[in-house]
Amino acid sequence: MATSVSSQPHFRTCNLCEAMCGVEIHSQANGTLRIEGDRDDVFSHGYICPKAVALQDIQYDRDRLKYPVRRTANGWQQIDWDEALDEVADNLKRIQARHGCHSLGFYVGNPTVHNYSSILFLPGFIRSLHTRNRFSATSVDQLAHHVAALLMFGHQLLLPIPDLDRTDFLLIMGGNPAVSNGSLMTAADAPGRLRAIRKRGGKVILIDPRRTETARLADQHIFIRPGTDVLLLLAMLNVIFSEDRVRLDHGDPLNAFTDGLESIRTLVSDFSTEKTAPITGIPAEQVRELAREFAGAKTAACYGRIGVSTQEFGGVCQWLINVLNVVTGNLDRPGGAMFTRPAFDAVAAPEGLAPRGSFGRWRSRVRKLPEFTGELPVAALAEEILTPGDGQIKAMITSAGNPVLSTPNGRQLDRAFAGLEFMASIDFYINETTRHANIILPPTASLEHDHYDLVFHLLAVHNTAKYSPPLFQPQKNTRHDWEIFLELQMRMESKGLARSLVAKTKRAVVGRFFPPTRLLDLGLRFGPYGSKWKPFGSGLTLAELKRWPHGIDLGPLESCFPERLCTPSKRIALAPELLVKDIERVKTRLLDSHTHHSRNDLLLIGRRQLRSNNSWMHNSERLVKGPQRCTLLMNPSDAANRDIVDGQQVQVSSRIGAIEISVEITDEIMPGVISIPHGWGHDRSGIQMAVAEQHPGASINDLTDDESIDALCGTAAFNGTWVSVSNMATSNERGAAAVH
C-alpha cells in the first residue's frame, strides 16, 4: 500500500471536477482520511461538494489496478512492467508495419486535463504514434467553444469566462453550475457566487429544457425546446440590432478592433422573434424583453454550456454567445465575459505544448469529418474501426477514458473494440472500455502525485495559482501517467534488443533532469507573474508557490484585448466565414423544414448529477448509495399519454438501440422532453468494478446516435435525440395477449 507522506494536515486542490476546490485532509487512526473544505484556500474559501470526500475512495479502491495485467483465456494475469510495455510497443509497431501508420487509433479521456504531468508529456507520446486517428473527449464536450475561440480570437484556448463575481446580469443557457460548479467557467462554490449576484441587486436567468438545480438560484427559468438555442440567440441579436441597442463602447474601445459588425446585422435580420418563437417555444415578447434586459444591464455575461455545446448547432451557438457579449459591450470588460491571466499561461506557451488550434487540415476516412487541432471527432471512431479499407483502425490505445459509456452509440463502439487486432489501455480500472484491452497499464492515483491545474486556472473566474504536493508516496514499482507515456514513446521510437534498457534509462534521465516539476517551474517563471520578468528574483517560481499551501491570489480578471488577441490582425473576427456559412444550415434544418414529429416522439437530453461526474465515480459506495440515480425524467402530461406511473420501468428506443430504465414523473422537465444522466450502464460482462456493478443503471449512450453531430465540427449532438418511450407493463400485456 502507498504510504502517507506526513501526519500533518495536507492541503491540496480536489481534482474530481473542474471547480478547483481546496481541501484539507487529515489521516485518521482508523486508516481513513477526513476530508473537508480548506477555509483558507484563496479560490474556494472552504467550499466543497459531496464528491470531495470520495477522493480517498479511489485511493483505497480494491478494484484499482496497481500492476500491469494481460488478458488471457483464463482471465487477467499480472505481468512485469517491462514485459507489458514491450508487448504494447511490439504489437503497435507490428500492426502499423502491416497496415500503415493510421491503422493505430488513440483515445484520451477527460481526467487527463486534471493531471498536469500527463498534459506535459502527452504531446511527445502522441507524436511517436504517427497516426491521424486521434480522438478525445473534447468532441463530446467543449469542442464548439474551441472552434469559436480559434475563429474569432485566434487561439483555441482564448475562452471567454463570465466574470461571475462582478456581473449584474448572468444569462445561462444549457448549463447547470449549481451542480457542476462551473464548467468552462471554473467557479468553486458556484451556488454561493450565483446567490451573491442576486444579493448585490443583479439578475440570473436560466434557459433550459429542464428546471434544474440552478433554476432554484435564478430569478427566472425559461423552458426551451432542445436544439433550438441558436434561434433564441439569433432572435435576441435581431432585437438588439433592430432596436439600435448595439453598444460596443461601454468605455472599452471594442469598436476599434472588431471586424464584421455589419455582416452580423445583415445575418440576424432574417430571424425575427415571431419567426423563431414557435420553434423555440419561447414567446416573441419574452425574447424581446430578454434581449432588452441583457443589452440594458450595467454589465452582463451570457454563458452557454453542455446543453448548448453538444447539439446540432453547438459551434454556431458558442459563436453567437460571444457575439452577444461583444455587441452589448460586455466582452473583455469587468462584469462581462473576460479572459484569465493564469500563472502558467498556455495561450503564450510554445506551439508544441499548447497549439493555437487548427481546423480541417485532414478529414476522417469514412465520413470525412474535419480534424480539429490534430483530433478527429470521436463520433467517427467506431466506423473507422468497423469499415474495411486502407487506413482502417486495427489497434487502439485508450488512456483515462471510457468511451463505451461516454460517446454516442456506445454499443457499436463496444463491438468495434471487441474486433480489434490489439488494444492497450492506460487506466487503473477494468471497465466497459478497458475490458477489451489485451494489456492494461495502470498509472498511480491522484493522491500519489503532485497537482497543479494547468487547464482550470485558465478557465477560472478569478486568477489564482496553487500547487499541491503528493499526499502518498506511491508503492514501489508503480508508474505515473507521464512515465508510462514516456516509456512507451521511447519504445515506439527506438529499435533493437536493448530498447527496454534505453527506454528505462531515458525515463530516468528525464525524471532526473526534466521532470514535470521542472517544466512547471519553467512555465511559471516565463508566465505573466514569473521571475523571468521581475527583478531580483521577486517573481513567481514553483519554489515560491510551494510556500503557499492555500494558493496565491493573483487578482480579479482584467481586460486584456487587443494585446492578448491572437488573430494575425490583432482584431476580433465577429463574422468568420465558416460560421456565417453555417447559418444556412440553421435555416434549412430549423426554419424551412422544421417538422413536428408524431405524438409519441420525445426529445432526449442528458443530466449532470452532483454525486457523479465520470463513470468511474460509480465505484464509490458513498457516491452511489441512497435512492436510485439513473432514472428517466418525464413530464406528467407525457406520462399520462402513455399510461406510465412514477417509478415504473419503461423501454426507451432510438434509431440505434433501446434501454430499460425507471421513470421519475416531474414537471421540472418540459413536455415533449425526457432526461437521462450519463456515465451509467455497468451491466456489461467482464468489468471489475464491484460497486458499480451493483448499481448498473442504463447508458444514455446506448440511445444517442453517432450519426447525429454538429456538421460544422463533428461534436456529438447528444441533446435532442429523438426517442420513443413505451410502457413495459402495457407492452408485456400486449405480448402475452398475442401469445394466447
Residue 191 cell numbers, joined? 451556488
b/e sequence 381-403, b meaning 16+ C-beta within 10 Å = bbbbbeeeeebbbbbbbbbbbbb
| Residue 660 and residue 651 in contact, taking contact as beta carbons nearer than 8 Å | yes
Q: How far is the CB of 20 from ligand SF4 (least distance, A)?
A: 6
Residue closer to ligand SF4 (CB basis): 52 or 486: 52
> What does 139-159 look like in DSSP terms, one character per residue?
GGTTHHHHHHHHHHHS-TT--
φ, ψ of residue 507 to 5 degrees: the values are -60, -40
Residue closer to ligand SF4 (CB basis): 454 or 565: 454
For residue 182, count CB atoms less than 10 angstroms from its CB and return exposed for 0-12, middle for 13-18, buried for 19 or more: buried
Q: How far is the CB of 342 from ligand SF4 (least distance, A)?
A: 17
Q: How far is the CB of 278 from ligand SF4 (least distance, A)?
A: 39
Q: How far is the CB of 182 from ligand SF4 (least distance, A)?
A: 9
Residue closer to ligand SF4 (CB basis): 19 or 231: 19
**138 Cβ contact list (under 8 Å, min separation 6):** 146, 372, 375
Q: How far is the CB of 539 from ligand SF4 (least distance, A)?
A: 28
Q: How far is the CB of 116 from ligand SF4 (least distance, A)?
A: 15
Residue closer to ligand SF4 (CB basis): 53 or 347: 53
C-alpha of 111 from chain center:
9
Q: How far is the CB of 188 from ligand SF4 (least distance, A)?
A: 6
Residue closer to ligand SF4 (CB basis): 181 or 412: 181
Q: How far is the CB of 525 from ligand SF4 (least distance, A)?
A: 27
Q: How far is the CB of 144 from ligand SF4 (least distance, A)?
A: 23
Give me the helix-helix angle, 577-586 and 314-327, nearest 10°.
120
- 3-class SS string, 454-480: CCCCCCECCEEECEECCCEECCCCCEC
Residue closer to ligand SF4 (CB basis): 182 or 410: 182
CA–CA separation, 677 and 605 (whole Å): 8
> What does 176-201 look like in DSSP terms, one character per residue?
-HHHHS-SSSB-TTHHHHHHHHHHTT
Interior angle at CA 678, CA 398 and CA 305, nearest 5: 95
Residue closer to ligand SF4 (CB basis): 24 or 87: 24
403: nearest Cα among 51, 704, 64:
704
Residue closer to ligand SF4 (CB basis): 402 or 648: 402
Place of cell 478569478: 462
Residue closer to ligand SF4 (CB basis): 108 or 187: 187
3-state percent breakdown (helix, strand, coil) of the chain, nearest 5 = 35, 20, 45
Q: How far is the CB of 215 from ligand SF4 (least distance, A)?
A: 19
CA–CA separation, 140 and 143 (whole Å): 7
| Residue 722 and residue 655 in contact, taking contact as beta carbons nearer than 8 Å | yes
134: nearest Cα among 112, 104, 111:
104
φ, ψ of residue 474 to 5 degrees: the values are -65, 150
Residue closer to ligand SF4 (CB basis): 13 or 96: 13
136: nearest Cα among 112, 117, 120, 158:
112
Residue closer to ligand SF4 (CB basis): 115 or 434: 115
Q: How far is the CB of 456 from ligand SF4 (least distance, A)?
A: 9
Pairing between β-strand 104-108 and β-strand 395-399 as defined by DSSP bridges: parallel
> What does 507-525 look like in DSSP terms, one character per residue?
HHHHHHHS-HHHHHHHHHH
Residue ranges binding ligand SF4 (CB under 6 A): 14, 16-17, 19-21, 48-49, 51-52, 181, 188
Residue closer to ligand SF4 (CB basis): 2 or 14: 14
Q: How far is the CB of 194 from ligand SF4 (least distance, A)?
A: 14
